[in-house]
Amino acid sequence: MINLFSDLLMLVGVVFWFWGTFPLVGDRSVLFKLHGLSVSDTLGSMTIVFGLLLRIPSEWPLLILAIISLAIWNTVLGYVLAYCSSSEGDDER
């Protein structure tokens, strides 16, 4: 039963990955596309890691570290991207 739930979580993670990738071909701005991509990739990756956590519980320290790293780095890099692309940042340099 746990293996089935683990497989389901990993499948949902892959669906999140594709859900964020398909809108890249749309007509919206680049930043809007990148925001949607980064959010869905973060959720998808974290869901896959949760599925792996259920399947391989002996590796929980590394998998928890992976979840924390995904949450922190994707958030920080999103802020860096937004700051570097803003027009206000050019005037302060």
**pLDDT in the model for residue 91:** 52
pLDDT at 92 over 60: no
Tokens of 6: 């683990």
The per-residue pLDDT for range 30-82, each reduced to its tens digit, is: 888 888 888 898 999 999 999 999 999 999 999 999 999 998 998 888 778 87
* Domain extents in the chain: 2-86
CB–CB of 25/66 below 8 Å?
no
At residue 17, the pLDDT reads: 92
Report residue 72 as tokens.
Answer: 């922190």
More confident residue, 13 or 22: 13
pTM of the model: 0.80
Q: 47 and 10 in contact (C-beta within 8 Å)?
A: yes
* Residue 11 pLDDT exceeds 80: yes
